[in-house]
Chain A
């Protein structure tokens, strides 16, 4: 069974540009979570989608947004990129709500120059 997939693996942007990151959950999972992990730091919760709806949002500015598609895949958009947005962006999926086990994708490394 395929795990969580993310694309692209690496993304290089310049300050002020927009970045789009994509995630496909494990088949049968309806929840998708996005996390930001800056180098050497812990997981910072960004967004949680379930059944196409945004269930919760972390303490990030509105330029971080996303959506979940009918097939449960998800997209994270970061507008007006800033240097401090450089980080590993991790997507996770779960099959039974917010308290369920989360399975992570390999991540997208975003570098803002």
Chain B
């Protein structure tokens, strides 16, 4: 069974600092990686996705892949209180039915 693992947190970061979230995956052949943000009581929304060929930056968000150690990171620069949410990682996997496998999410708290 392919797995995606995240530290449940909460991860507490002071406002203005860099928040670093990690996600480990078991399928060495994974080619794409997704990060979603979920506010309490709301549905997940896509932040960004990257392919196995490189990192990606979008505004204050950067996704980085470490293929050797099989983890993907999400860095949030200049963290704001509005970044406080649960961050979900998803990686395609599965044997006969290839679909997104979801991590349990990391709760991030940005302290003013």
Q: How many of chain B's residues have a CB under 8 angstroms from any CB in A?
A: 21
Q: Are B43 and A56 in contact (CB under 8 A)?
A: no
CB distance from B3 to the nearest CB of A (A): 13
- Residue contact A48 to B43, C-beta cutoff 8 Å: no
Contact between chains at B104 and A42 (CB < 8 Å)? yes
One of B41, B42, B94 near A98 (C-beta < 8 A): B94
User: Of A42, A99, A102, which is in contact with the most chain B CB atoms at under 10 Å from its CB?
Assistant: A99
Q: Closest approach, in angstroms, between the C-beta of A64 and any C-beta of chain B?
A: 17
A106 → chain B, closest Cβ, in Å? 6
Minimum CB–CB distance from A42 to chain B (whole Å) comes to 4
Q: Mark B40-54, 1 if CB is under 8 A from A, else 0.
A: 011111100100000
Distance between A47 CB and nearest chain B CB, rounded to angstroms: 11
In the bound complex, residues from chain B placing their C-beta under 8 Å from that of A97 are 98
A43 interfacial contact with B, CB 8 Å: yes
Q: Is A101 in the interface zone, CB < 8 Å from B?
A: yes
Bound: A22/B102 CA distance, A = 23
For A56, what are the chain B residues with a Cβ–Cβ distance below 8 Å?
94, 97, 99
User: How far is B96's CA from A48's CA once the two chains are assembled, in angstroms?
Assistant: 13
Given contacts A42-B105, A43-B88, A56-B94, contact A99 B43 (CB under 8 A): no
Instruction: Indicate if the CB atoms of A48 and B97 lie closer than 8 Å.
Output: yes
B100 partner residues in chain A, CB cutoff 8 A: 98-99, 102
Q: A43-B88, A99-B99 are in contact. Are A106 and B104 (CB under 8 A)?
A: no
Which residues of A approach B to under 8 Å, CB–CB? Answer: 33, 41-43, 45, 48, 55-56, 88, 90, 97-99, 101-107
Query: Beyond the given A56-B94, A99-B100, A101-B46, could you list 6 further A-B residue pairs with CB under 8 A, ordered by the A residue number?
Result: A88-B43, A90-B43, A98-B92, A98-B98, A98-B100, A99-B92
Tell me the B residues contacting A by CB distance below 8 Å: 32, 34, 41-46, 49, 88, 90, 92, 94, 97-100, 102-105
